[in-house]
């Protein structure tokens, strides 16, 4: 029952893959949008989509969705899921994520922290590159890569657990029906 609810929810809010594939502004991509894994949820496309989406989500700047879409096409993983995961970073989550990235970078580089106040603008980011840029960018890279790897492993584990559970229940039903 919950699977149908999730599927209906996804189908309601995600455009049909034929609509996206045939959109006049996306024709320059040619057959790149024809891979079935870009549009289906399966054990291959979902973990990869989580990796691509989480990696792109922690990249600073306004191009996260484009990076996620390009990565989904390149790795042939579910595009809507990849793009949707970039919304993990939003105006509410960016300040703590940026600070955490900076802390990770200073810890790795063994640098002292510089006091700063996070502002939501590219101008602020460019202005701060000399003082906090190195640790911040290193921290975002570490956060992007580690979240991509951990997200992939978590989804693979949950998928495996779900299949094992399903097979055990099916085996129990078969044994029950024999008696």
Q: Where are the domains of the chain?
A: 35-178
CA distance 134 to 123: 16
pLDDT over 50 at 88, yes or no: yes
pLDDT over 50 at 1, yes or no: no
Q: What is the pLDDT of residues 111-145, one digit of tens each?
A: 888 777 767 677 877 777 777 888 888 999 999 99
pLDDT over 70 at 171, yes or no: yes
Model's pTM, two decimal places? 0.77
**What pLDDT is stored for residue 99 in this prediction?**
87
**What pLDDT is stored for residue 105 in this prediction?**
94
Q: What is the pLDDT of residues 24-66, one digit of tens each?
A: 655 556 666 667 777 778 888 899 999 999 999 999 878 899 8
pLDDT over 50 at 168, yes or no: yes
On average, the pLDDT of the chain sits at 83
């Amino acid at each position: 029952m919950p699977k149908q609810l999730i599927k209906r929810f996804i189908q309601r809010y995600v455009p049909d893959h034929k609509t996206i594939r045939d959109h006049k502004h996306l024709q320059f991509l040619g057959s790149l949008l024809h891979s079935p894994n870009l549009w289906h949820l399966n054990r291959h496309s979902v973990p990869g989509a989580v990796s691509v989406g989480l990696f792109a989500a922690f990249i600073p700047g306004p191009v996260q969705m484009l990076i996620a879409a390009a990565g989904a096409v390149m790795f042939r993983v579910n595009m809507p899921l990849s793009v949707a995961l970039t919304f993990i970073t939003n105006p509410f989550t960016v300040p703590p994520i940026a600070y955490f990235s900076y802390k990770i970078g200073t810890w790795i580089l063994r640098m002292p922290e510089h006091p700063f106040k996070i502002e939501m603008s590219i101008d602020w980011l460019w202005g701060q590159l000399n003082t906090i840029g190195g640790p911040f960018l290193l921290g975002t890279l570490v956060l992007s890569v580690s979240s991509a790897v951990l997200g992939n492993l978590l989804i693979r584990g949950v998928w495996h657990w779900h299949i094992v559970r399903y097979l055990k229940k099916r085996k129990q039903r078969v044994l029950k029906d024999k008696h």
